A = this chain, B = another copy of it.
């Protein structure tokens, strides 16, 4: 579909970097991309691209440096724990060309959290950040995330990542929130195609997508309309309804409130 050309959305996009061999092996299914994407979309900061990279310094450096130059914000997930395979901080420091330093503020947070004798050398590594980083609060388990310029470095555990995001969300500069209208019907995409193209042409300010689904033995389509203007979105949805009726189908508005 054509990129959205509203100035609000051209202004700020985000990229996500999911770090971890566990995701690439298929053993762990990522939950952070969809969660961040929905939250960022609601703030008017659509996610423009995402990458899943291995626990390897060169892979992380490449992704962070490519994406921070292209997008208003980059969010990384994973690799900031205390074990030997947690190399995100070293990699982000390398990406920015700065050393890793111990943050006294982060160390104080960890000292206040762990019982005496439990804050060993491994856990103290979680107080290390790239020089110049600003800490991001972790209300769940204290070991902080951090921000380097437009790059936010978060934990991989979803409930910690979500708490970190909620803490920094008010600091993000968003655009006009993208809204969605979605209509499903038991009409194949191939029958909708010509009509959809015509509606897209009538609404160049909106983005129309079509997504086939299989439910049991039946195929159907979901038409998703995205944009920032409520009136235009409703008008496009009405046009989709009329098209589906004309094709002998029954349009069903999907609940988009939670999306």
Interface size range of chain A in the complex: 35 or more
Is A83 a contact of B189 with CB atoms below 8 Å?
Answer: yes
CB distance from A64 to the nearest CB of B (A): 14
Complex Cα distance, B183 from A219, in Å, reads 42
Asked if A93 CB lies within 8 Å of chain B CBs, one says no
Asked if A226 CB lies within 8 Å of chain B CBs, one says yes
Complex Cα distance, B1 from A50, in Å, reads 22
- Chain B hits for A36, CB < 8 A: 26
Is A37 a contact of B24 with CB atoms below 8 Å?
Answer: yes
Asked if A232 CB lies within 8 Å of chain B CBs, one says no
Mark each residue of chain A from 232 to 258: 1 if its CB lies under 8 Å from any CB of chain B, else 0.
000000000000000000000000000
Is B54 a contact of A49 with CB atoms below 8 Å?
Answer: yes
* Residues on A facing B (Cβ under 8 Å): 1, 3, 16, 21-30, 33-39, 41, 46-56, 59, 81-85, 118, 120-123, 126, 140-141, 157, 159, 178, 180, 182, 189-194, 196-197, 200, 207-214, 219, 224, 226, 259
